[in-house]
Amino acid sequence: MSPEQCRCEIATALSDQYALGLVFYELLTGRPAIESSTTIGYFHCHQFYCPPPPSDVAPSLCASAWDPVVMRMLEKDPAKRYPDMEQVRMALAALEEPHLSVGSVSTTPTAKPPDSIAEPRTEQAITRAETRSSCARVGILGQRNPLARAEEKGELPSSIEVVQRFEQPSDLPHGSIPDLTWILGTDMMNHGRDVERWHRHGIPKETTLVCVDMRLTKQAASSRLFDTPNQLVGPFPVDGQLIAGALRWVSWQRGGGIECLFPGAALQVVQVRSSSDKVACIDALLDAAHEEHVRSRTLRQLAEICDEMALNALFHAPVDHTGTPRNSHLDRSSTITLGQVEAATLSWAFLENYIAISIVDPFGSLDPDTVYQKTMGGSFPTLSNDQKKGAGMGFQIMSQAASCLFVAVCPGNWCEVLALVPRQAGRHSTKNRSLCILKNVGLTTVKLGDRLRYSKVQHHGTIRISLVGEINESSDLAPIFVHDHALRLDLAEVARINSIGIRNWVDSVTARPPGATIVLERCSPAVVKTVGMVPRMMESVTVASFLAPYHCPTCETEDHLLVSPREIDGIEPLPCPCRRCGALMDFDEDPETFFAFLLDLDTP
């Protein structure tokens, strides 16, 4: 079933092309492009999950020349597929090498994927060469080698190739060695000093994973730990598989997830938008676990983790455009329904040694430092009444149930929490648990003019850019629109666009690479009013959401409501209660003028 059919749209010849692409994919790889254990999971995956290129899944069976043909047939947007089957035939005819014939590819199912975080085969559209170079070459810093145990036992993951060792900063050559991801083994007491010494000698923080011996952290957590963006805290020496998984996130500078850490795993994916979704997700996970003959103790751990992940996505993750929490003050028994663009994605997979559970929210509001203090600080602290509604207790529960937690955050863009639960429940000591914290994953900030800057992050094959400031005559927008990936622009912090800024925008959008898609998110009122006057700004652009301004006449509070174009009926504003006094707020613009941009709008 094609993505458009999953959205209850009419099937066309392009839908048949998508189905043929699924057939090609399975012929070339020996496995389906989309897998799920439930009907809802299939619907969700067909709409949102992008399978890896065939040559990444089965490099021994499929040549990379097949990738662009098959992946174009499997585009989620029908307009991005081949215009007709004649174009498909011509693309296939261009594959002239004899070994590229479909009939020559074995359709024997591939062996069960290894239960290892170490294998670097990606679930995103990255070439195998990029995959190998992104995590294979590693340098060890310091006298304490976090990979010592794995090396002694011959269990060093194949994705790690140790090519340099330096015990002292003075041993480093002038400048850092290119194309290396660094591992710094240190203990809590000397952490800040060691990191500072190495960085002064040319080792960049962004590509350094600091491995901290958890057994030396019983005292109060030192603020020095938070000076570096990437930390793996656990028993020393650290499990080589966990290091391999963390290095992939560090070196790729993009999102990870179960499908990235465990390539080839059968993944169940669902959305969490409401309290009822939370209950349904727990039930679905436990039903699947029963079919896998999981023990009762592990079932309880899975339920605890899934429950806390969903609660965090509903109550703690959502923030407004200023970063202020929206739902954390509510009682946990309250009924909450998030907008379509705000939904979290929950996924799980049953592996040979682990059960992996992951949740991704689109807010990126989680504070990694708080996670560390709550999960690695020992026993549960006594909570005051105003602390009982915080996210700390939930992460403590998750850390007690899981052997390892991965927390990857791109502030203001997305956050992913991944828990690994041992498949065979045994005497799981909290002394052996691990926590991996990756801050600012994939986030880079670039200045585009005197009064405009942007932050860029790449996650799961999509580039997301947040613009901050004013778009005017000094703004150079070309670096934004040169990407040939799917592009999502967050415009919540755009304060103003003048006439020259409008011209710069139109020229840049027109010059973008063919086939590149642009989706606008959280458009500020200034952007909305401008495009209402200049419809040309919306040509070949899709609007996913915008901020509608409101004013409370009772307490004089000003606020914005995040709205999807699909939620607006004509020019009628949505009702918005005041978060301060509860009174119904007034829409703070002329509806006819403000919603004029919706008349000729493409919506996702």
Comparing CA positions, the residue from 330, 328, 333, 307 lying closest to residue 318 is: 328
Burial (CB < 10 A; 0-12, 13-18, 19+), residue 536, is: exposed
Q: What six digits make up the tokens of 558?
A: 């000003």
Would you place residue 256 in the very low, low, confident or very high pLDDT band (cuts 50, 70, 90)? Answer: low
Residue-wise pLDDT tens digits, 589-599? 998 889 888 87
Domains 128-246 and 255-438 share a fold: no
Contact between 365 and 415 under an 8 Å Cβ cutoff? The reply is yes
- Given strand 586-587, what is the order of strands in its sheet? 558-563, 546-551, 586-587
Any idea which residue has 């999950």 for tokens?
49
- Output the pLDDT for position 549: 93
Structure tokens at 571: 């020019």
Cβ neighbours, 10 Å, residue 360: 25
- Cis (ω within 30 of 0) for the bond into 237? yes
Confidence of residue 463 (pLDDT cuts 50, 70, 90): confident
> What's the rounded Cα separation, in Å, for the pair 441 and 437?
10
Asked if residue 316 has pLDDT above 60, the reply is: yes
pLDDT above 90: percentage of residues in the chain: 14
Q: Per-residue confidence at 527, pLDDT binned at 50, 70, 90?
A: very high
Supply the DSSP symbol for 253.
T
Instruction: Choose the CATH number for 128-246 among 3.30.70, 3.40.50, 1.20.120, 1.10.600.
Output: 3.40.50
d(CA 321, CA 47): 27
Give the mean pLDDT of 153-160. Answer: 72
So what's the pLDDT on residue 498? 93
Report how far residue 416's alpha carbon sits from residue 265's, in angstroms, rounded to the nearest whole number: 18
Which residues are bridge partners to 469 per DSSP? Answer: 452, 494
Fold entry, domain 444-598:
Transcription Regulator spoIIAA (3.30.750)
What torsion, rounded to 10 degrees, do the Cα atoms 419, 120, 143, 442 define? -70
At 246 the pLDDT is 80
- Which of the residue ranges 193-202, 273-282, 297-306 would you say has the lowest mean pLDDT? 193-202
CATH of domain 3-104: 1.10.510.10
Please calculate the CA angle 443-445-449 and round it to the nearest 5 degrees. 155
Burial category of 428 from C-beta neighbours within 10 Å (exposed 0-12, middle 13-18, buried 19 and up): middle
Instruction: Assign domain 255-438 to its CATH architecture.
Output: 2-Layer Sandwich (3.30)
Q: Are 240 and 118 in contact (CB under 8 A)?
A: yes
Q: Look at 251 and 411; give whichever has higher pLDDT.
A: 411
Give pLDDT, residue 554.
92
**What is the Rg, in whole angstroms, of the alpha carbon atoms belonging to the chain?**
25
List C-alpha distances in Å: 160 to 56, 243, 403, 438.
Answer: 18, 9, 22, 19
Beta bridge partners of 577: 584
pLDDT tens, residue by residue, 65-117: 888 899 999 998 888 899 899 889 888 887 754 443 333 333 333 333 333 33
Residue 62 identity:
C
Look at 299 and 184; give whichever has higher pLDDT.
299
What was the pLDDT predicted at 125? 27
3-state secondary structure of 17: helix
User: Residue 138, SS3?
Assistant: strand
Q: From residue 440, how far is each of 135, 324, 373, 542 by CA, in Å?
A: 18, 19, 18, 27
Domain boundaries, the chain: 3-104, 128-246, 255-438, 444-598
546-551 and 586-587 strand pairing: antiparallel
